[in-house]
Amino acid sequence: MNPSLSAILLALGARDAIVGVDEWSARSQPGLEGLPQVGGLASPDLEGVVALRPDLVVLVASFEQRDFRARLAEVGIPVRELSPTAFDEVLESILALGDAVGRRAAAEERVAAIRRARREVEAAVSGRPRPRTVVVLQREPLFVVGRSNFIDEMLGSAGGQNLGAELGDSYPRVALEWLAARAPEVILDSSTDPTPAREYWQRLPSLPAVRSERVVELGPGVATLPGPWLDRALWTLARALHGDALGRDAP
């Protein structure tokens, strides 16, 4: 019942274990074609889930799905609630799902690859300037990456200074005035807006990131999905922040 969890199962080679998915997973995860859809993240379809007779329903802890979990328990369907918020929690989710579908070895390999990539990225950017960075999740209204989440942790490992971390929330809504005052040197845009990122941010030419053409379009989910490919995400962030300075051998 979550795109990140669906992506993990696919990465572990467990497509055959999935009997139904939420609507967002169906839209965002190639490889789930033809599976029954059982509602949205905020509007799960209890009857649809019950009809599939699953051995286990896996979801992410959230206010919207709290009632859904209770209703599943009432009808006797086992539920596993995961919380892939922090970096290590994402890795724990990979291992937990690996155990659930008999893919523990594959899960351990995936986690090892992610941990190895983090060490390599941190070594590659060691001693380099840490540009003042904002990660944009949504443009209008403007939401950015704050603190206490896996993206903030990866940005630190990739050699960036997350300006949004000064705010209290994990994914705060901010005003353009805040953005202008913080004067980011790099904007990493992961929004779903169809307007190209560099074109969109030209409306704020005073921003150092715009003046120096350091606006990078990550694309939705490239580095913001708490899923199985955080190793790729770490290198994506490092290249976005440091470019050719990483050398030709960087993945």
Query: Which domain CATH number covers 235?
Result: 3.40.50.1980
Residues 22 and 35: their CA atoms lie apart, in Å, by 10
Question: Is the pLDDT confidence value at 247 over 80?
Answer: no
Whether residue 47 contacts residue 22, with contact meaning beta carbons closer than 8 Å, is answered with no
Residues 71 and 7: their CA atoms lie apart, in Å, by 25
Question: Is the pLDDT confidence value at 149 over 90?
Answer: yes
Cα 221 → chain centroid: 6
pLDDT in tens, 164-216: 999 989 999 999 999 999 999 999 999 999 999 999 999 999 999 999 999 99
pLDDT in tens, 105-147: 999 999 999 999 999 999 999 999 999 999 999 999 999 999 9
Q: Which of these, 11, 25, 1, 24, lies nearest to 228 by C-alpha position?
A: 11
Residues 48 and 6: their CA atoms lie apart, in Å, by 17
- Please report the pLDDT score of residue 67 as a whole number: 85
220 in a domain, yes or no?
Answer: yes
Mean pLDDT of 50-71: 89
Confidence band of 219 (pLDDT split at 50, 70, 90): confident
Residues 99 and 145: their CA atoms lie apart, in Å, by 31
Those residues with Cβ within 8 angstroms of residue 69's Cβ, 6 or more apart along the chain or in another chain: 59, 79, 81
| Final residue of a structural domain among 82, 116, 148 | 82
Confidence band of 222 (pLDDT split at 50, 70, 90): confident
Structural domain boundaries, residue 147: 128-246
227 in a domain, yes or no?
Answer: yes
Residues 75 and 14 in one domain: yes
Q: How many residues does the chain have?
A: 251
101 in a domain, yes or no?
Answer: no
Percent of all residues in the chain with a pLDDT value above 90, rounded to a whole number: 86
29 in a domain, yes or no?
Answer: yes
97 in a domain, yes or no?
Answer: no
- Residue, of 62 and 233, whose pLDDT is higher: 233
Whether residue 8 contacts residue 93, with contact meaning beta carbons closer than 8 Å, is answered with yes
Element (H, E) at 187: strand 186-189
Phi first, then psi: what are they for 161, rounded to 5°?
-105, 110
The total of structural domains in the chain comes to 2
Residues 107 and 177: their CA atoms lie apart, in Å, by 44
- Please report the pLDDT score of residue 173 as a whole number: 97
- Please report the pLDDT score of residue 134 as a whole number: 98
Question: Is the pLDDT confidence value at 231 over 60?
Answer: yes
| Final residue of a structural domain among 44, 66, 82 | 82
Burial class (CB in 10 A: 0-12, 13-18, 19+), 23: middle
Confidence band of 20 (pLDDT split at 50, 70, 90): very high
